[in-house]
Chains A and B, each alone.
Chain A
Amino acid sequence: MDVNVPDARILPSSTALPASATAWRGRQIFWTVVLLAVVFGAVPAAITATGSSYLAQIAITAMIFVILSASLNHITGTAGLLSIGHAAFYGIGAYAAALLSTKLGLPFIVTLPAAGLIAAFVGFLVAMPTMRLVSIYFAVATLGIGEMIYVILLNWVDLTRGPMGIRGIPPIELFGWQANTLLSRYMAVAVIAVVCVWVLHRLTHSYYGNALRALREDDQCADSMGIDVVRLKVEAFVVSTFFAGVAGALLSHTSAYIAPDNFRFMESILILAMVVVGGMGSLPGAVVGALFMIVLPEALRDIGDYRMIAVGATMFLSILLLPKGMLAEGASLAFVRRAFARGWTTMSGGTPVGWK
């Protein structure tokens, strides 16, 4: 690898893009259809065919964690700010949705965005003082804030009912249609997850995403190139916490009962593990990592008490063999560019540059 080209990992040298716009359009349609067919075709078909509510439950959990993992990847992978308090924003979203729907009787169509906005607002408040921090200092600040939010959820009994948790949260409902069956619940969660991932995809795979990656690699350099570093960091953090809040609302409305224990430090670490196992900075990686880390413990259920050892060992091996993740950032960006986007222009030799 040529270290003198800092972008060498991002710009693939071998994947030449044909000039023909129709070929590109065809590939985009093909991949979009394939992915949608898996999420809305194959998975529901598998659930219906096996009649397994177990499968459906895992699919719902996996979809929620896809949002969490993809949103953490936005701040930690793309923008390079290691956050180890993500579960707290997930918790804020879950509590916001639960309290708004049980205490004020607001419908899902209101609680879902409200949960995201409240989490994003808290994220904004957190981001303001902490954005001067770099690397591990920022990580510890997010850890501290995550623990503070957990302590508040646990001890502010008048508002959150503390350790009693909140129960009786209504299921997902849209204009009179209620997601009563598991399959419809999965479909509703999947639609929202796909929308969230699509928005993150548009943010990540763009010039805006390039700016985030630039400040990750060297924020002082990015600053001198005219990128408003602090503003971009705050934006990235707010976007990330917004989607964590949305995931929290989905948890509330699909599980009917939440308690502070759902949002502890180890949950943040689990989400981080998803991002790392999948591939830091790679959105497809974050999705795959989430699926992997949710399905793995269930798949290993049959080996009994040694299950967690096997989970740890698998995770260790995966990181050891693929330290850049299952779908590493460079390859993922190349893939996304080829399948869903176009280079703005091509360099000599046909290497695509930029996003369109």
Chain B
Amino acid sequence: MIFDIFLLQQVINGLSIGFVYALMAIGFTLIFGVLNVVNFAHGEVYTIGAFIGLMVITALAPPLVAVVPLVLAAGALSGVGLERLAFRPFRRFTDEASQKSRAMREATLLSSLAVSIIAREIMMHLFGGDMQGVPSDYLLQRPVAIGPIMVATGSLVIFATSAVMLGALQFLLYRTQTGLGIRAVSNNQLGARYVGIDTDRTIVTTFAVGSMLGATAGILVGLYDGAISPHMGFAPGVKAFVAMVMGGLSSIPGAVACALLLGVSESIATEFLSSGWKDLITYSLLVITLVFFPQGIFGHGRERA
């Protein structure tokens, strides 16, 4: 009875949750990588993407493929704005003591948190705190039967999008000049500047790309979930953060793999325990992983900080 079709369905359910986390984790990890600072506002970029998408859909009713470029533009714009507002001001201190100072690093983390609070509250005043429905034509919820297993169209779209994003990002990072710059800044900001890389521009580019991915994730998950609200980004944001760290911070494929692991562990925990306890299993998995892999599963060895 244990290894029956229901269990297989649970694994599929878990993977579809995992891909939602993964979609968000990709942009999150990219942005973390370049500055080594947690961007608390990534969840808000995700929400902005969802709302912009919804506004475009309700106002113009274009085909879904046409919504995506607009959402990408909105994402890039909010990413650049976010970088200007919450991150750039803290790079005005260039002396080594400030750069190594924990107070400075934690200040940047908290400034993105403050920006995210403001953004969320403003969205709440603009759109109301209620969840917004999505017009039925755009819902990515049609069931697809694969043998006895049921999958929603949204899961497939999210899976495909994650795969494309991952591939495109690996290409960008490892095959282009921009990617080389991003990797250089991520490795050593000061060093990158010394060899003539425009670090500010590289950081802005990274934020734009990462936020484009985040905003796309927002609208896709919104259409898949059937509800868009100002606080939709918080819960998947935490899970994406966890997945990123489990994966070892610097590895985007690692973050995706860990996001899937988290999703599957949640659905399997629901099967054998209760949904109420699933987070206990998920986070135990995190702690156990960190005990055995203190730098995450795919992380590099420790550098001297």
Residues of A within 8 A of B (CB): 1, 3, 6, 8-9, 76-77, 80, 82, 129-130, 132-137, 140-141, 143-145, 147-148, 151-152, 154-155, 216-218, 220, 265, 269, 272-273, 276-277, 279-281, 305-306, 308-309, 311-313, 315-316, 319-320, 323-325, 328-329
Nearest chain B CB to A3 CB, angstrom units: 5
Say whether B302 faces chain A, with CB atoms less than 8 Å apart: yes
Please tell me if the beta carbons of A82 and B97 are within 8 angstroms of each other in the complex. Answer: no
- B113 near A151: Cβ-Cβ < 8 Å: no
Other-chain residue from B103, B107, B117, B294 in contact with A133 (beta carbon distance below 8 A): B294
Cα distance A135–B37 in the bound complex, in angstroms: 11
Separation of A151 and B283 alpha carbons in the complex (Å): 10
Q: Mask for B119-133, Cβ within 8 A of A = 1, else 0? A: 001100100000000
Residues on A with C-beta less than 8 A from B274 are 155
Contacts A137-B290, A281-B103, A316-B114; A148 near B305 (Cβ below 8 A): no
Residues of B80-130 at the interface with A, using a CB-CB cut-off of 8 Å, are: 86, 89-90, 93, 95-97, 100-104, 106-111, 113-115, 117-118, 121-122, 125
- The answer to whether B97 and A3 have CB atoms under 8 Å apart is yes
Contact B290 A133 (CB under 8 A): yes
Question: Across the interface, which residues of A come within 8 angstroms of B280, CB to CB?
Answer: 148, 151-152, 155
- Contact A137:B296 (CB < 8 A) given known A216-B102, A269-B113, A281-B102: yes
B121 near A308 with CB under 8 A, answer yes
Q: Is the CB of A1 within 8 A of B276?
A: no
Kindly state the separation between the CA atoms of A315 and B116 in the bound complex, as whole angstroms. 11
Complex Cα distance, B286 from A145, in Å, reads 9
A-contacting 9-mer, from B164-172, B214-222, B241-249: B241-249
How many Å lie between the Cα of A53 and that of B245 in the bound state?
A: 46
Contact assessment for B286 and A140 in the assembled complex, using a CB-CB cutoff below 8 Å = yes
Of A129, A136, A220, which one neighbours B249 at CB under 8 angstroms?
A: A136
Q: Are A313 and B118 in contact (CB under 8 A)?
A: yes
Q: List B260-303 residues whose CB lies under 8 Å from chain A.
A: 274, 276-277, 279-280, 283-284, 286-287, 290-291, 294-296, 302
Please state if A80 and B296 are interface contacts (CB–CB under 8 Å).
no
Interface residues on B, range: 35 or more
Tell yes or no: B72 within 8 A of A by CB: no
Contact B245 A155 (CB under 8 A): no
A144 contacts B242, C-beta separation under 8 Å: yes
Q: Which chain B residues numbered 227 to 269 have a C-beta less than 8 Å away from chain A?
A: 238, 241-242, 245-246, 249
CA distance A77 to B101 in the complex (A): 11
Query: Which residues of B have CB within 8 Å of A306?
Result: 121, 125
Are A320 and B294 in contact, with the CB atoms below 8 A? no
**Known: A135-B305, A269-B113, A312-B118. Is A324-B95 also a contact (CB below 8 A)?**
no
Complex-state Cα separation, A279 to B117, whole angstroms: 20
Return chain A residues, CB-CB under 8 Å to B118.
309, 312-313, 316
| Contact across chains for B245 and A137 when beta carbons are under 8 A apart | yes
Q: Please give the distance in Å from A29's CB to the nearest CB on chain B.
A: 31
In angstroms, how far is the closest chain B Cβ from the Cβ of A142?
A: 10
* Chain B residues with CB under 8 A of A313: 114, 118
Q: A8-B97, A137-B294, A316-B114 are in contact. Are A148 and B106 (CB under 8 A)?
A: no
Given contacts A144-B283, A328-B103, A329-B103, contact A312 B117 (CB under 8 A): yes
Q: B residues within 8 Å of A by Cβ?
A: 36, 38, 86, 89-90, 93, 95-97, 100-104, 106-111, 113-115, 117-118, 121-122, 125, 238, 241-242, 245-246, 249, 274, 276-277, 279-280, 283-284, 286-287, 290-291, 294-296, 302, 304-305
With both beta carbons as reference points, the residue of chain B lying nearest to A126 in the complex is identified as B287
Question: Chain B binding site: helix, strand, loop or mixed by DSSP?
Answer: helix
- Of all A-B residue pairs in the complex, the 4 with the closest CB atoms, nearest first, are A312-B117, A280-B103, A316-B114, A144-B283
User: Closest residue of chain B to A76, judged by CB?
Assistant: B106
Name, among B102, B122, B238, B241, the residue most crowded by chain A CB atoms within 10 Å (CB to CB): B102
CB A6 to nearest CB in B, in angstroms, measures 8
- The reply to whether A147 and B101 form a contact with Cβ atoms under 8 Å apart is no
Q: Which of A136, A145, A269 contacts B245 (CB 8 A)?
A: A136
- B residues less than 8 Å from A130 (CB atoms): 287, 290-291
Supply 16 A–B pairs (Cβ within 8 Å), ascending by A.
A137-B295, A140-B241, A141-B286, A143-B242, A147-B238, A155-B280, A276-B106, A306-B121, A311-B117, A312-B114, A312-B118, A315-B114, A319-B107, A319-B111, A320-B90, A323-B103
Q: Are A309 and B121 in contact (CB under 8 A)?
A: yes
| Cβ-defined contact, B287 with A141, below 8 A | yes
Please state if B107 and A323 are interface contacts (CB–CB under 8 Å).
yes
Given contacts A9-B97, A220-B304, contact A277 B117 (CB under 8 A): no
Residues of B close to A154: CB separation below 8 A: 276
Interchain CB contact under 8 A, A320 and B290: no
**A-side contacts of B96, CB under 8 Å:** 3
The distance from the CB of B293 to the nearest CB of chain A, in whole angstroms, is: 9
CA gap between A324 and B238 in the complex, in Å? 26
B97 close to A1 (CB less than 8 A): yes
The closest CB in chain B to the CB of A136 belongs to: B245
Are the CB atoms of B290 and A148 closer together than 8 Å? no
Among A140, A309, A316, the residue within 8 A (CB) of B290 is A140
**A311 CB contacts on chain B under 8 angstroms:** 117
Closest chain A CB from B205 CB (angstroms): 23
Q: Which residues of B contact A323 (CB under 8 A)?
A: 90, 93, 103-104, 107-108
